[in-house]
């Protein structure tokens, strides 16, 4: 009887959760292709500079600063499934334009402004999806299943991070970077179909009186900024996102042979190099999924958040300390010569992946558990406004640092910034939080 009870309460028996999980799994695998192919399209096909890469990152994330808080109000007032399905269909359609113009031979004529425009509108739609996504889960699963639900969703993302980049790097070398983006476009359509199968009645008061948009925005800001736990999580995540985005913006140039202070990888192999490093290093994400709940139960939710934030900061050190990636090879993989420096980058990425996953699972579950469902959309929008609003600024900062200080100095500064972000949660009440408390009133 006890075994049967456990099986009935498993999330795998929750059809709506399985549909959400399937949708997110498909989308996560598809996104690995664009994350690698888009900046490589800019660098290899269009000859983008560090500044242009910074503008590209800025265009894709500025919507969080411009529209994030308003989207939170919209999400709380409208049906979430419809928002998510519409966002995926439109994002898939926009991304499909990149391989189409590449096949037609128009991409070099349209140039980098074309990528700016596509990235901006895809980023705008992503704001709607991401706010809705984290606000939707608490209504589909029981409160005591939030950590399990986030762990399973994170497991899909981690698996995609392990296998996706290597496959993407190989596909890019065969199809070219812009054409590879067609895979991600297709994944958005498949993801939308899976979401459409969710059968959950959403209670939306469409006829009753509503407070003003300003009042709703103020309430969302209040629920986050008044609570020191949410406020400090926002500070930690926002700081980390700012510096890690600056780092990721200049990474493709940092790896290329003819870039100042580069590590010595040719343009033809940069996609494969990044893909293999990210894939092997991302195995740490699977480890993070496996141990996140155990760590929280062993040392407490708060200490787990603090420790993981420290770990993902230190993992970036090999990127600054490593030398040439082509000297003294030990062995070859798909045409790429592996040496001790590449192995060090894999190890660093492995450590980063563990820290990021343990941190995200525990802090997101904490946020979802302590805030009432009616405020989830505004809470998540406010958190995303604060923590993702730093991303466009980080992208610009990365491009400017790489241009004026050199790529290696810029990488060192950004890694230091990420490493210090854990101080927000260390110097807060979170460090002594043993269990997830009850929801705020």
Asked if residue 42 belongs to a domain, the reply is: yes
Asked if residue 2 belongs to a domain, the reply is: no
| Alpha helical stretches, state H, 204-227 | 213-225
Q: Where does residue 71 rank: exposed (0-12), middle (13-18), buried (19+ CB within 10 A)?
A: buried
**Tokens encoding 440:** 């705020």
Query: In a 3-state reduction of DSSP, which class is residue 65?
Result: helix
At residue 84, φ and ψ (nearest 5 deg) are -70, -45
- Give dist(CA 436, CA 104) in Å, integer: 54
Asked if residue 409 belongs to a domain, the reply is: yes
Return the higher-pLDDT residue of 56 and 78. 56
- What is the pTM (predicted TM-score) of this model? 0.76
Local structure of residue 438 (DSSP, 8 states): P
What's the distance, Cα to Cα, between the start and end of the chain in Å?
37
Could you report the per-residue pLDDT of 385-394, keeping only the tens digit for each?
899 889 999 9
At residue 365, φ and ψ (nearest 5 deg) are -60, -40
Query: If pLDDT is split at 50, 70 and 90, which confidence band does 1 have?
Result: very low
**Counted domains in the chain:** 1
At residue 358, φ and ψ (nearest 5 deg) are -60, -40
Asked if residue 312 belongs to a domain, the reply is: yes
Asked if residue 238 belongs to a domain, the reply is: yes
- Give dist(CA 140, CA 376) in Å, integer: 13
Asked if residue 5 belongs to a domain, the reply is: no
Distances (CA, A) of 13 to 36, 87, 97, 201: 35, 27, 38, 18
Instruction: Give the CATH number of the domain where residue 281 resides.
Output: 1.20.1250.20
Closest CA to 66 of 14, 111, 120: 120
Distances (CA, A) of 402 to 40, 51, 372: 17, 8, 43
Return the higher-pLDDT residue of 282 and 125. 125
pLDDT on residue 5: 38
Query: In a 3-state reduction of DSSP, which class is residue 336?
Result: strand
pLDDT on residue 379: 81
Asked if residue 4 belongs to a domain, the reply is: no
* Mean pLDDT for all residues in the chain: 86
Could you report the per-residue pLDDT of 152-170, keeping only the tens digit for each?
887 887 777 777 777 888 8
pLDDT on residue 334: 64
What DSSP letter does each residue of 41-58 carry, written as one string?
IIIIIT---HHHHHHHHH
Give me the half-sphere count of Cα atoms (radius 13 Å) on the Cβ side of residue 146: 22
Distances (CA, A) of 63 to 102, 133, 282: 26, 17, 28
The angle subtended at Cα 269 by Cα 263 and Cα 275, nearest 5°, is 90
Closest CA to 271 of 182, 183, 340, 175: 175
Query: If pLDDT is split at 50, 70 and 90, which confidence band does 6 have?
Result: very low
pLDDT on residue 440: 53
pLDDT on residue 9: 64
Closest CA to 425 of 151, 150, 234: 234
Closest CA to 395 of 56, 127, 69: 56
Query: If pLDDT is split at 50, 70 and 90, which confidence band does 138 have?
Result: confident
Asked if residue 279 belongs to a domain, the reply is: yes
The angle subtended at Cα 434 by Cα 432 and Cα 438, nearest 5°, is 110
Could you report the per-residue pLDDT of 277-330, keeping only the tens digit for each?
888 888 998 899 889 889 998 999 999 999 999 999 999 999 998 887 777 888
Residue 332 bridge partners (DSSP):
337
What DSSP letter does each residue of 405-434 carry, written as one string?
H-HHHHHHHHHHHHHHTTHHHHTSGGGG--
Could you report the per-residue pLDDT of 324-365, keeping only the tens digit for each?
777 788 887 766 788 898 899 999 999 999 999 999 989 988
**Tokens encoding 218:** 């103020």
Domain that holds residue 157: 15-198+214-432
Query: If pLDDT is split at 50, 70 and 90, which confidence band does 8 have?
Result: very low
**Tokens encoding 3:** 């075994």
């Amino acid at each position: 009887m006890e075994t049967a009870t456990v099986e009935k309460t498993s999330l795998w028996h929750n059809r709506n959760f399985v549909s959400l999980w399937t949708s997110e799994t498909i989308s996560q695998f598809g996104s690995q292709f664009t994350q690698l192919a888009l900046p490589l399209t800019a660098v290899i096909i269009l000859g983008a500079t560090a500044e242009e890469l910074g503008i590209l990152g800025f265009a894709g994330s500025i919507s969080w600063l411009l529209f994030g808080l308003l989207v939170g109000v919209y999400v709380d007032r409208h049906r979430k499934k419809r928002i998510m399905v519409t966002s995926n269909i439109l994002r898939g359609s926009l991304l499909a334009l990149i391989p189409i113009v590449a096949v037609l031979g128009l991409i070099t004529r349209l140039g980098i402004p074309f990528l700016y425009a596509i990235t901006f509108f895809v980023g705008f739609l992503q704001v709607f999806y991401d706010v809705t996504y984290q606000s939707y889960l608490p209504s589909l699963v029981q409160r005591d299943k939030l950590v399990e639900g986030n762990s399973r969703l994170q497991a899909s993302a981690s698996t995609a991070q392990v296998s996706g980049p290597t496959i993407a790097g190989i596909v890019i070398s065969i199809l070219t970077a812009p054409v590879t983006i067609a895979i991600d476009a297709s994944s958005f359509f498949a993801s939308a179909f899976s979401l459409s199968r969710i059968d959950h009645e959403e209670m939306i008061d469409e006829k009753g009186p509503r407070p003003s948009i300003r009042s709703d925005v103020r309430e969302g800001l209040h629920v986050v900024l008044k609570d020191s736990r949410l406020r400090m999580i926002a500070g930690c995540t926002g700081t980390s996102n700012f510096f890690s985005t600056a780092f990721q913006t200049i990474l493709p140039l940092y790896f290329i042979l003819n870039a100042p202070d580069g590590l010595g990888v040719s343009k033809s192999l940069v996609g494969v190099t990044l893909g293999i490093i990210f894939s092997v290093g991302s195995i740490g994400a699977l480890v993070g999924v496996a141990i996140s709940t155990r760590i929280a139960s062993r040392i407490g939710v708060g200490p787990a958040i603090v420790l993981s934030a420290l770990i993902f900061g230190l993992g970036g050190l090999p990127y600054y300390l490593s030398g040439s990636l082509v000297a003294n090879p030990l062995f070859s993989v798909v045409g790429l010569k592996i040496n001790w420096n590449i192995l060090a980058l894999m190890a660093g990425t492995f450590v980063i992946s563990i820290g990021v996953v343990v941190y995200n699972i525990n802090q997101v579950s904490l946020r979802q558990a302590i805030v009432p469902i009616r405020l989830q959309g505004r809470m998540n929008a406010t958190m995303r406004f604060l923590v993702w609003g730093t991303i466009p600024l980080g992208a610009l900062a990365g491009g400017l640092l790489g241009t004026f200080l050199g790529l290696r100095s810029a990488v060192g500064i950004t890694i230091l910034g990420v490493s210090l972000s854990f101080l927000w949660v260390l110097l807060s009440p979170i460090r002594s939080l043993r269990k997830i408390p009850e929801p705020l009133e």
